[in-house]
Amino acid sequence: MDADTDLYMCIAAAIQDGPQGKSFEEVRIDNYLKAYTTTGHPPLPCPQIPTAPHERAALGLPPLFEPQRLPKQKPAELPDFHVWEQTRVSEENFQSIVAAPRYVGYSPEELRCQAYEKGNKVLPPSMASAFSFSSVSPTQTTVPSMQSTLPSIPSTLLPTLPLIQSTVAPIQSALLPDVNGEVFASITAQNTYSHHSFEELRVAYLLAGKEMTSTEIINASTAPVVPTRPALRLF
C-alpha cells in the first residue's frame, strides 16, 4: 500500500471535491428521481453482470463499485489528538467535531482513521481526565468540560416534549468490553439489536410506540403491528 495515499471504500461522487461532489443521500435521491420519471417505479437492484465498463455503459448500467485511492490530505497539519470543541457560526452552535475550523475538510471517519493510524485510540491520561465520564450511575453521565458549553432547554418547553417511557434497559448498562477490550457505544453493536440498522430500529419504535429488540421486530414482521398511540405521519 502506498504510504502517501489512502484507499477509500466509497463511491467516487461522495469523495469528489467541488460542485460535482455529492453525498450518499444525494446520489440515492438522483437514482430515485431518474427511476420514477422514466418508469414510474423505484429503482431496481443494480445488475452485477456484465462486469466490463464498456459493456455496462452500452446497456445503460452504472459502473461497478471500485475503491478510490487518493493522496492523503496533509495529516501532519492535524493535532495528534482530535479534541472535540463546540463551534459557533452565525449564532448557531454546532456539536460536530468536523465543524471546528481545524478539522474542516475532514469527515469524522477520516479523523478516526488517522487517529488509529497513529495508534491513538484513546486520549492520554493528561487529557482524558478533562473528558472522562462519571461512572456513578448510568443515568447521571456527565462530561464536565463540555456541559457548560451546551445550550440549556427552557423549563417552559419541557412539559410539551412528548416522551415515551422506554421498556428497554438503559444502553449504558450494556456497554461491556469485548474480548479485545473494545467498548462499542452503538446500539446496533449489541446482540439484542444487532440484526437491524438504526433506521429499522427507529421505524419500529415509531410504529409500535416503544423500543423493540431485533427478536421482537422479527416476530412482529409476520403480523401487523398495532400502535400503542396514534401513528406518526412521516411524509
Question: The domain containing residue 104 runs over which residues?
Answer: 74-123
Residue that finishes a domain, picked among 35, 50, 71: 71
Whether residue 167 is predicted with pLDDT greater than 50 in this model: the reply is no
Widest Cα–Cα separation across the chain = 64
Residue 90 has pLDDT above 80, yes or no: no
Asked whether 5 and 69 are in contact (CB, 8 A), the reply is yes
Query: Do 192 and 212 belong together in one domain?
Result: yes
Percent of the chain surpassing pLDDT 70: 58
Q: With cut-offs at 50, 70 and 90, classify the pLDDT of residue 62.
A: confident
Indicate if 232 and 200 belong to the same structural domain. yes
The pLDDT value recorded for residue 55 is 92
What distance in Å separates the CA atoms of residue 7 and residue 65, rounded to the nearest whole number? 13
Give the model's pLDDT for residue 166: 46
Reported as a single tens digit per residue, the pLDDT across 6-20 is 777 778 777 776 667
Pair (11, 61) in one structural domain:
yes
Q: pLDDT tens for residues 115-148?
A: 777 777 776 666 666 555 444 444 444 444 444 4
Residue 21: predicted pLDDT: 73
Residue type, 60: G
Mean pLDDT of 162-183: 55
**Do 11 and 65 fall within a single domain?**
yes
Q: Is 70 helix (H, G, I), strand (E, B) or coil?
A: strand
Residues 186, 235 within the same domain: yes
Tell me, yes or no, whether 64 and 9 share the same domain. Answer: yes
pLDDT for 95-120, tens place per residue?
777 777 777 667 777 777 777 777 77
Residue 196 has pLDDT above 50, yes or no: yes
Domain final residue pick, 123, 138, 154: 123
Question: What pLDDT, on the 0 to 100 scale, is given for residue 74?
Answer: 60
For residues 46 and 101, state if they share a domain.
no
- Please compute Rg for the chain using Cα positions: 23
Number of domains in the chain: 3
pLDDT, residue 116, reads 79
Query: Cell 471504500 sits at which residue?
Result: 9
Residue 156 counted as domain residue:
no
Query: Residue 27's pLDDT band (boundaries 50, 70, 90)?
Result: confident
Domain presence at residue 196 = yes
Q: Is the pLDDT of residue 186 over 70?
A: yes
**Shared domain check, 56 and 102:** no
